[in-house]
Copies of this chain bind each other. A is one copy, B any other.
Amino acid sequence: MTTLHDVAQLANVSDSTASRALRGLDIVRPKTRAKIKSAADSLHFELSRSASALASGRTMRVIMLFGSPLNTWFSAACMQGAYEVLAESGYDIVPVILKDATNANEFFNTLLKNKHNIDGIILPSIRLDSHSSEDLSSLKIPTVGLDASFSPVLNASVALDNKSAMRSAVYYLQELGHERIGYVQYPNRNIFFSSAEERGTFFLQAAKEYDFSQASVHVYPAKDYEVNSSLEEPLSQLARRIASSDAAPTALCVENDEAAIILMRQLRLLGVKIPEDISIIGFDDNDNAELMGLTTLKQDPVHMAKIAAQLLKDLMAGNPIERKQTWIQTSLVKRESTSSPRSERTASA
């Protein structure tokens, strides 16, 4: 196994100089550096991560904490985004999944104990309760939240502007002429917080702002179909309920695309025409949304993760960051699942 020492000898310099040259510190004379680099190349040498880490205290290891599997639209996008900015700087981006952590405690204990071993943490969709928060802040390890609103224990955070998103959805529906609108919640299967949970509230707020009467706005809560298994069954029930109601909304905003698409299908099975009878708006713009012609509020988690990763990188380098809280806007992608309501059409016909 070739070591830094071998390289130094071959280049006729001291270990320290070789180390400096290889790491790109600019206190090395160009000539010397070149000599060392070529020695290193000819020996196929690369620094030992563990030795470097041990000596410097920097582990070049960033933890990405998930509450759901990695092969999920959002999680995978986070990994990709973080990878894109962190990998080039030599950071390992290490996924960690919290399984049964109903109590975030176990998790924070683990983190606490890992103190030596982590340079930074990215927390996608994590809710911080006061207890774990203390732990986190005692960590002294840069931590940035992703899809989380800012908390004092976070050094920075990148969050989706769900409020504006809901506002634009409601505005769009009003513009189309809808007078009875609804919001469908999604059961949170993630053990942590997802900012999606706050969308319902913002939807109501927005409806109020745009002068919808309380009676004309209906929220279908997640509790109604809280299941671990398939969404088909509960959403089919919901569809039946909606289809058979007289004063059903003519437009539905659904917490995310996955549920929106299933609901759309279930409604169609009942003979409900979309968008003629009911317009549907999803959230995310995942791969299926385009396929199904679903109008949706598009978010780009890869992009968000890149921003979070860049913030973390700055933090780890000790650089100042511009602002602690970064808000990301969604954009409304209009497709075939929305239109003016039937009444409106008839009237204008």
* A contact set with B: CB distance below 8 Å: 1, 44-46, 48-54, 59, 61, 69-73, 75-77, 79-80, 83, 87, 92-97, 109, 112-117, 261, 265, 287-288, 291-292, 302
Contact = CB atoms under 8 A, between A and B. Distances in A.
A138 to B, nearest CB: 10
Nearest to A96: B87
B54 A261 contact: no
Contacts of A69: 80
B59 A49 contact: yes
A76 to B, nearest CB: 4
B59 A50 contact: yes
Given A49-B116, A59-B50, A112-B44, A94 B96 contact: no
Contacts of A61: 49, 92
Contacts of A113: 44-46
A117 B79 contact: no
B93 A94 contact: yes
A134 B189 CA distance: 47
Nearest to A49: B117
A50 B92 CA distance: 13
Given A49-B59, A114-B46, A72 B76 contact: yes
B87 A79 contact: no
A97 B52 CA distance: 23
A80 B87 contact: no
Contact of A97 (B83, B261, B292): B83
A226 B223 CA distance: 48
By Cβ-Cβ distance, the 4 closest A-B pairs, closest first, are A50-B53, A71-B76, A46-B113, A76-B76
A58 B94 CA distance: 17
B70 A79 contact: yes
Given A54-B51, A116-B1, A70 B80 contact: yes
Contacts of A48: 54, 116-117
A259 to B, nearest CB: 13
12 contacts: A1-B115, A1-B116, A44-B115, A46-B116, A49-B50, A50-B50, A50-B51, A51-B54, A70-B76, A71-B73, A76-B76, A92-B92
Nearest to A97: B83
A115 B114 CA distance: 25
